[in-house]
Amino acid sequence: MSPLEIVAVLLAGVGAGTINAVVGSGTIITFSTLVAFGVPPVVANISNSLGVVPGSVTGAFGYRRELAGQRGRIRRLLVPAVLGGITGAALLILLPAGAFETIVPALILLGVVLVIVGPRLSKAVAARAERRGVERKGDAAWVWPAVFGGAIYGGYFGAAQGVIVMALLGIGVAEPLQRLNGIKNVIVAAANLVAGVVFVLVSWVGWSDAEVDWLIVLLIGVGAFAGGLIGASVGRRLPPNVLRGFIVVVGLSAVALMVLT
């Protein structure tokens, strides 16, 4: 890589880490940058999955106050996050390259719609429980398998994974949006990390053409590490409606970029 490309990838990592900490879709920045510089799409996707992990970790650390008191929930949801990340990585290796790409924009759009209607759906669930004479407690039963599905998507590609996970949590978990954002960062970090480990192992044993470009991983990782701290600092100050609006804008932008490129 030329010095200019090195700087560009590093800055893309900062941008990805910042956006991922606030909502998600940062992968669009890094992935698009790598492909524009001639990196093969599969190599770019795999290397990026590892590179963005530090940003999710620092983003989760930045939300540590919002994560307080949610240890039990995090432990429960880490299981589907890990299993889903492994499954998604396996699908990327085993399936044809274009197998999921045709439905990715539709999944992101679904996530955006769920973010928009999430508060109404959540209120409707709570009202239904009240009519039945019970108080809504804990998480909806479908949250566990839904997180598993979101993590599969994240392990396979990951663009706007945060948008999708936030939408699901916003409907099924009775917590303020900022506390859900902290959980989202943990889930995304876990899914990307285990997917990256699968890619590394497969590359080492020669089971597929999957390759990891460690320079790319290092550059994106350093940038994302800083970006995660920046994003958490900014994101924690956003009012719920502003944060939700930002999620919608980023999600729609991700769809537009994927459709037009």
Cβ atoms < 10 Å from Cβ of 23: 26
pLDDT mean across residues, the chain: 80
Alpha-carbon gap, residue 199 to 209, rounded angstroms: 10
Are the C-beta atoms of residues 145 and 80 closer than 8 Å to each other?
A: yes
What is the tens place of the pLDDT at every residue in 13-58? 998 888 888 776 677 778 778 877 888 777 887 888 889 889 888 9
CA nearest neighbour of 240 among 117, 157, 101, 119? 119
- Helix H or strand E encompassing 85: helix 71-94
Backbone angles phi, psi at 58, to 5 degrees: -70, -30
CA nearest neighbour of 210 among 30, 69, 47? 47
> At residue 173, what is the residue type?
V
Alpha-carbon gap, residue 166 to 159, rounded angstroms: 13
Domain of 181 in residue numbering reads as 3-260
DSSP 138: S
CA nearest neighbour of 177 among 231, 122, 252? 122
pLDDT in tens, the chain (261 residues): 788 889 999 998 998 888 888 776 677 778 778 877 888 777 887 888 889 889 888 988 888 888 888 899 999 999 999 999 999 988 888 877 666 566 667 766 776 676 676 566 656 655 655 555 444 556 788 999 999 999 998 888 776 777 788 878 888 887 887 888 889 889 988 998 899 889 888 877 766 666 788 999 999 999 999 999 998 888 777 776 776 676 677 667 766 766 666
Number of structural domains the chain divides into: 1
Alpha-carbon gap, residue 151 to 185, rounded angstroms: 12
Alpha-carbon gap, residue 218 to 229, rounded angstroms: 17
> At residue 259, what is the residue type?
V
